[in-house]
Structure 1
Amino acid sequence: MTSFEEAETEETVTCLHLTFYHPCQDEKRMFRCLNFCKREQVRADEMAKFGRDSSVCRYNLMDTRVSRIQFSLQFYRKLHTLEYCFEIKNLSKKTKLTVNQTELGYLNKIDLPWKCIICFGDYQILAEIQEGESVDYFETHLRLAEAPILQERCLPCLPSLQPIPENGISPSFFLSQGKNPTEIDENEL
């Protein structure tokens, strides 16, 4: 047998991609202690904690408005399945955490969806899970967003979201003409 044939089968590793954003990130540099653009291995039995206390948290956010321990992520396998997941728990007594608009109070926890947005204070984190097979560890891959992850959206900015009447003329056409739309009978057309 060759060394190639004797080599252990490589298993894929679950990777948690996290993209961070804060409106003051350039001035306050609260993400300066995070290791961006490089994958980092985390043992499967460790809890990945985020906060400002570097003696407890693996991922440090350098901001006095962040709790000592803000939240944790726990890797686990669902019962009676081969599916691996993450659980997110809010560990801040002062700040609520939202996951895709589900609000978590202190010590509340939920399964992390495969793709979601985590928010607390002015922080926005896009979390995306890439499936893997390894039971010994998972990886984190941190990135920094240059623009807000959540954009305030208004309907006039997104005309494609406005319903178009059957006559095919958008209501915004009338508004741009300075006239209000008037209701007419189909037979008058």
Structure 2
Amino acid sequence: MTDSQPQMQDWNAFAEQWNEQFLDALEENMEAQAKFVESWSETVGEASDETEISDGLEGYARAYETWMNASQQMVDRMNDQLEGEDVDLEEFRDIWLNTSNEAFKDVMSTTAFAKMTGESVGDVLELQQQADEASQETLRTLGFATGDDVVEVGDRLVELERRQHAVEQKLDRVLEHLEDEQ
């Protein structure tokens, strides 16, 4: 009887740890799904074309189905564990990681996502250009050389080197001519 008590305590501790990890994973999954739905709702809400909205909703539906399949896989593997099968905890992590990848593929392959990404990139490039212009102006005001100034100096140096080389070639020809006359 004393041998069975430590085994039962080990089992209880293992089951408790496993349940906690499962609940943590389930909570993280729900949070990820909520963030995903919120982000997707914003994207679809911004889409103005009926085709984009339809495509976006189809992508969301595929992603949702992917998440539900992962949930079913989790339940199946948990049942396998409870029935005594040796299930590695990393397998649960892998299910969620693979599911995340698949769900994002479902969403990213839509025209609504492409439109949102294109608009975001355009906005970022515009902001970057404005920041570059502001920093150039600030440097000029403070009396420092700007990137444009450095490029201009570089261009002038290249032109001076080209001219110097041409003068050296002419001078060599003149010297050769003078040597030939002597």
Higher relative contact order, structure no. (Cα contacts within 8 Å, ≥ 6 residues apart): 1
Higher strand share: 1
TM normalised by structure 1 equals: 0.21
Higher helix share: 2
TM normalised by structure 2 equals: 0.21
